[in-house]
Amino acid sequence: MKNIIILLIIIALAGSLLANEEYIAKVYNIDTSPSTFLYYHYSDQKNLDDQEILYHYYLLPDSSEAVVEEAIIENGELKKYTANFFISNEQSMLELKNGKLTVTYTKDGKTKSKTLDFDDTLLVGPLFVKHLVANWNNLIAGETVKFRLPAADMLTTAGFYLKKINNSEFQKPGTVVIKMGVSSIFLKLLIKPSYFVMDTDTRRVKEIHGLSILPHKKDGEWKKTTNVEIYFEWE
């Protein structure tokens, strides 16, 4: 569960972007010296008659797809979310129907699923910005904002919080730093907080610093990444 939650942290943070604005982000592994470039990241959006479909892409340096997220929105509500991890042969899927949330996880062709009561604080990466912007004034005032993210491999969800912090090592003029961490006392012992740097005027994310399991290749094998930095360039 720790690994999937770590990945959800970084995906949710990277999801704190307006999907109809153009950017390109670069993901670096900072556990190497010097740091190593891992992925390009960008988003896309399609608008149909009654649906809005949001995409997040993570590409390897050769531009092949590593991870792709898709969120289908109907009437402002999440109906289906899929995350495909092509490099690790995994897929996570959420489907909301009749007030129930079905969580499905597939690894190497083996699938398991479970139906849960829906919690309206549940977020997925492409929707994260709406939650953040809706709570922007509360965050700036120093309040703690709580929500949940899916932990698909455990067929459950996990609690998280957002809180503005002062005097952060990542803070720069004209920015605010938001700390994101897990609510569980037990998981706090296992998972360090992540941080993202937001422009105070545009509310665009500029940098992300935190944990991820987006894999990197070492000695010919895919290894789990523990510390990454993501830098965004906006058109």
91-127 residue pLDDT tens = 999 999 888 999 999 988 899 999 988 888 888 878 7
Is residue 147 within 8 A of residue 121, CB to CB? The reply is yes
Q: What are the sequence ranges of the domains in the chain?
A: 2-234
Reply yes or no on whether the pLDDT at 20 is more than 60.
Answer: no
Q: Residue 145's CB: how many other CB atoms inside 10 A?
A: 19
Res. 41 pLDDT band, cuts 50 70 90: very high
Res. 152 pLDDT band, cuts 50 70 90: confident
- Maximum distance among all Cα pairs of the chain, rounded to whole angstroms: 50
The pTM of the whole model exceeds 0.75? yes
Please tell me whether residue 11 adopts helix, strand or coil conformation: helix
Comparing 69 with 31, the larger pLDDT belongs to 69
Q: Residue 140's CB: how many other CB atoms inside 10 A?
A: 13
Is residue 73 within 8 A of residue 53, CB to CB? The reply is yes
CA distance 111 to 91: 9
Token pair listed for 49: 């008659």
